[in-house]
C-alpha cells in the first residue's frame, strides 16, 4: 500500500471524516496507509509550493479541498491521481472535462448540483427578505454564472456580481455591494471557505442577509445555508482513494454530485438583522442555530 496525502489546506475535522471513511474500508493509518498533512492556512500564494512538495514526495493519491487547492494540485502534476472534495463547478472552472468522464488525473466530489441550487438559494432569500429585488453575488474570479443568471431572471431578481481574486478584496467587495444597495448577498465559490468567519462578519457589518451552500457558513454567522454536507463528502472521498489504489483510473471515475441537502438557519443572525424567519421555513430546516 502506498502513501496517500491529504489536503493541501483543510480543517482537521474534515480530515477526521476522511480517515474514518478509509478505516471503514479497511485502511488503518500507520498500519497499511500513511497519511501526511499539508496546510496552507488559507494563504493562497503558498498553494503552488505546497503542491510541488506533495508531487516531489511521489505519492500515490492526493486528496484536495476547494477549487484553489485542487487547481494548484492539478497545476503541479498531470499524472498523480487527485481526488477533489467540496469543489464547485469543476467543469466550468477547468478542473475536469466533464462530470461523467473527467479525463486527466482529477476526479472526486463537488458541492453543487447544477442550476437548481442557485434557484433554490435565491428563492429562499426571497422568502426571507421582504421585497427583495437586487442580490449581490460575492464570487471568486473565474466562477461561471450562467445558471445563476437564469435563476435570477425566473425570480425577477436583479444581480450585482462582484468578482474577488483574493481575501484582501473582501472589504471593498462589500462596500461596492452597499453602494449598489443590494438587499441580500449570495456567496459563491470555495475561495472563501477558510475565511468564512471574515465573510460572515462583513455580511453582518454591512447588514446583508447572506447565504452559501455549506452549513459551516451559517455556523460562522451567515443567515442561512442550503446545500450538501461537507463532512459527508470527505467521508465518501475515501471510496475514491480506495478505487484508485486498486487500479481505477481517475479519468474514468465520474465526479459525484450531492443528492442530499440540508437547510441550516441562524436565528441569531436573523435577529441581528431585524428579520423574521417564516415559521414554515423554520419547520423545514434541518438545523436552527440559536
If we measure between CA atoms, which residue out of 84, 81, 86 comes closest to residue 95?
A: 84
Considering only 41-50, 98-107, 156-165, 235-244, which range has the smallest mean pLDDT?
41-50
- Residue indicated by cell numbers 435563476: 151
Say whether 115-227+261-289 and 3-112+229-252 share the same fold.
Answer: yes
pLDDT tier, 144 (very low <50, low <70, confident <90, very high otherwise): low
CATH fold of 115-227+261-289 reads Rossmann fold (3.40.50)
- Residue indicated by cell numbers 421585497: 131
pLDDT tens track for 35-91? 988 877 667 778 899 999 999 998 999 999 888 899 999 999 999 999 999 888 899
What integer pLDDT is reported at residue 7 of this predicted model? 38
pLDDT tier, 1 (very low <50, low <70, confident <90, very high otherwise): very low
pLDDT tens track for 258-268? 988 999 999 99
Residues 122, 181: Cα–Cα separation, whole Å: 17
Spans of all domains in the chain: 3-112+229-252, 115-227+261-289
Q: Is the pLDDT of residue 29 over 90?
A: yes
Stated as kind and residue range, the H or E segment containing 173 is: helix 170-179
Q: Is the pLDDT of residue 4 over 60?
A: no
Residue with the larger pLDDT of the pair 218 and 8: 218
Phi, psi of 266 (to 5 degrees): -100, 100
CATH of domain 3-112+229-252: 3.40.50.2300
Is the distance from CB of 200 to CB of 264 less than 8 angstroms? no
- pTM of the predicted structure, to 2 decimals: 0.87
Amino acid at each position: 500500500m502506498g502513501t496517500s496525502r491529504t489536503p493541501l489546506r483543510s480543517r482537521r475535522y474534515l480530515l477526521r471524516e476522511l480517515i474514518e471513511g478509509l478505516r471503514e474500508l479497511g485502511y488503518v493509518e500507520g498500519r497499511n496507509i500513511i497519511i501526511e498533512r499539508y496546510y496552507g492556512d488559507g494563504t493562497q500564494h503558498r498553494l503552488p509550493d505546497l503542491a510541488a512538495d506533495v508531487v516531489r514526495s511521489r505519492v500515490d493519491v492526493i486528496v484536495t479541498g476547494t477549487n484553489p487547492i485542487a487547481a494548484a494540485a492539478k497545476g503541479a502534476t498531470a499524472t498523480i491521481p487527485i481526488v477533489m472534495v467540496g469543489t464547485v463547478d469543476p467543469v466550468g472552472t477547468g478542473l475536469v472535462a466533464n462530470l461523467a468522464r473527467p479525463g486527466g488525473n482529477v476526479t472526486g466530489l463537488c458541492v453543487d448540483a447544477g442550476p437548481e441550487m442557485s434557484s433554490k438559494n435565491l428563492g429562499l432569500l426571497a422568502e426571507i427578505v421582504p421585497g427583495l429585488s437586487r442580490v449581490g453575488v460575492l464570487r471568486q474570479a473565474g466562477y461561471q454564472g450562467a445558471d445563476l443568471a437564469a435563476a435570477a431572471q425566473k425570480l425577477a431578481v436583479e444581480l450585482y456580481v462582484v468578482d474577488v481574486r483574493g481575501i484582501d478584496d473582501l472589504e471593498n467587495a462589500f462596500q461596492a455591494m452597499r453602494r449598489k444597495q443590494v438587499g441580500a448577498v449570495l456567496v459563491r465559490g470555495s475561495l472563501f471557505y477558510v475565511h468564512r468567519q471574515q465573510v460572515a462578519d462583513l455580511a453582518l457589518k454591512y447588514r446583508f442577509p447572506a447565504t452559501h451552500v455549506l452549513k459551516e457558513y451559517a455556523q460562522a454567522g451567515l443567515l442561512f445555508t442550503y446545500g450538501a454536507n461537507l463532512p459527508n463528502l470527505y467521508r465518501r472521498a475515501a471510496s475514491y482513494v480506495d478505487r484508485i489504489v486498486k487500479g481505477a483510473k481517475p479519468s474514468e471515475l465520474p465526479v459525484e454530485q450531492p443528492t442530499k441537502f440540508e437547510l441550516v438557519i441562524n436565528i441569531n443572525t436573523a435577529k441581528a438583522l431585524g428579520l423574521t424567519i417564516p415559521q414554515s421555513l423554520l419547520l423545514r430546516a434541518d438545523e436552527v442555530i440559536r
